[in-house]
Amino acid sequence: MLSAEEFLWPLVPAGFHICPDMTAEWTDLSVGVVEGQPEWNTLIVRTDRGRELMERGIAEGWLVTETLPEENLANLTLAEGNKKKRVWAKAKEEGLLNAKGNGERCVLRVNDRVIEKAVF
């Protein structure tokens, strides 16, 4: 029998491997799995509009919420940072990070000072 990882990775779109935004940082709300708790999703609320939507979902019976344990939040933060580093490294390896033009394909532009602090 295949593990979840062996089953799922072939189904992951290629763009996932060069997308640094694991938790949809520029959205009002972000939803994703909770490691080790398959019956729950993580809901990240980032804006007042997101909070309004969450509260409406709770009031109308669409959402059931609990506070995410600090350990899970720490793991999510670590995983998010590691994903960015992997994506930047892969994009750099493939010449897709901060390409300067001249017909070069570029999929990511990251401030050079940020890249210097990242460990590849």
Q: Domain for residue 27, yes or no?
A: yes
Identify the pLDDT of residue 79: 87
The verdict on 77 and 118 lying in the same domain is yes
**pLDDT tens string 49-100:** 999 999 999 999 999 999 888 888 888 888 888 888 888 888 888 877 777 7
Identify the pLDDT of residue 118: 67
The set of long-range contacts for 72-75, using a CB threshold of 8 Å and a minimum separation of 24, is 72/34, 72/35, 72/42, 75/35
Q: Domain for residue 16, yes or no?
A: no
The verdict on 63 and 77 lying in the same domain is no
More confident residue, 120 or 62: 62
CA gap 90, 111 in Å, rounded: 16
pLDDT of 120 above 60? no
Q: Domain for residue 9, yes or no?
A: no
Span 27-56, average pLDDT: 90
Identify the pLDDT of residue 22: 84
CA gap 14, 17 in Å, rounded: 6
Q: Domain for residue 40, yes or no?
A: yes
Q: Domain for residue 77, yes or no?
A: yes
Q: Model pTM?
A: 0.66
The verdict on 43 and 85 lying in the same domain is no
The verdict on 56 and 85 lying in the same domain is no
The verdict on 90 and 110 lying in the same domain is yes
Domain count, the chain: 2
Identify the pLDDT of residue 48: 97
| Structural domain containing residue 79 | 72-120
